[in-house]
Amino acid sequence: MATKQKTMQSGHGRPGEKVKVLLTRDRIHRRILEIAKQIRQDFPDEPLLLVGVLKGAVFFLSDLARGIPGEVSLDFIAVSSYGKDTKTSGQVRLTKDLDASIEGRTVIVVEDILDTGMTLQYLLRILEQRKPKRLRVAVLLDKPERRIAAVQADYVGFSIPNEFVVGFGLDYAERYRNLQGVAVLSLKPQDKAARPDK
């Protein structure tokens, strides 16, 4: 484990930042294939549209899409939480919209992490207004302790404790996204500026 931890730190960590492996790449990959199989079982003959929430969901989305047999297409959406400091005010705005209509389609929103649920609640409200045939949610990570909004995912990779995690698409100040697995990031006390709540 120590070797893996050191490898994950290499080239990313700055003084005062430490990463500790939470989920290995192999474990994540196996779970994503299970989710992909379940999605196709739920919708055996339907074309699927996977909507990735930028930027964090890119790694999860690409692996998930490759694991689902049959017709799968992709689109992307991006949102931003904003407030006066590093914590969100609970207000969310759309920064990149979908490229095509989702009306009458089976849509699966793909997110990296679900914690407060504010972002997902906002996205689902927008997408439901566009009259998809079905709307489902797949998240790689779920932090149920952090939930504020009454939302949940249909497909969950892993339920995790209330720790600040990075890797496999999740970032801290746009760093660590490209870690092979998911790791808990420890910061110096004065640097504890969390990513906007999701």
157 neighbors 182 (Cβ within 8 angstroms):
no
Annotated catalytic residue, options 85, 97, 99, 115: 115
Which conformational region is residue 39 in: left (phi greater than 0), alpha (psi within -120 to 50 degrees), or beta?
alpha
What lies within 8 Å, CB to CB, of 51 at 6+ separation is 74, 75, 76, 77, 98, 102, 107, 108, 109, 110, 127
58 neighbors 169 (Cβ within 8 angstroms):
yes
Amino acid letter for position 139: V
| C-alpha closest to that of 115 among 60, 28, 22, 197 | 197
User: Active-site residue 112, yes or no?
Assistant: no
- Active-site positions read 115
